[in-house]
Homo-oligomer: A and B are copies of this chain.
Amino acid sequence: MECLTEEHIKQRAKVLFFTTGILDASTQEIADFAGVNRTLVNYYFRSKKNLFHIVYTEIITEMRTNFAAIYVSNVTFREKVEALIDYTTEFRETYPFLEIFNIQETSKLNNRLETVLRPTCMEETGFFLKEIEEEMKKGTIPAYEPINFLINLMSLISFPIVMKPIFREIFCISTEEQYQRIYNQRKEMVMTILFNNVNQ
Which residues in A have some Cβ–Cβ distance to B below 8 Å?
Answer: 20-24, 97, 99-100, 102-104, 106-108, 114, 117-118, 120-121, 125, 142, 144-145, 147-148, 150-152, 154-156, 158-160, 162-163, 165-167, 169-173, 181-182, 185-186, 189, 192-193, 196-197
Contact = CB atoms under 8 A, between A and B. Distances in A.
B107 A142 contact: no
A198 to B, nearest CB: 9
A142 B185 contact: no
Contact of A121 (B151, B159, B170, B185): B170
7 contacts: A103-B162, A103-B166, A121-B170, A150-B171, A152-B156, A155-B155, A158-B159
B106 A100 contact: no
Contacts of A104: 21, 23, 97, 100
A107 B21 contact: yes
Contact of A106 (B103, B159, B165, B189): B165
A102 B185 CA distance: 26
Given A160-B155, A197-B142, A103 B165 contact: yes
Given A145-B185, A148-B182, A169 B20 contact: no
Contact of A170 (B107, B120, B156, B189): B120
Contacts of A150: 171
A130 to B, nearest CB: 13
A111 to B, nearest CB: 9
Contacts of A24: 24
A150 B121 CA distance: 31
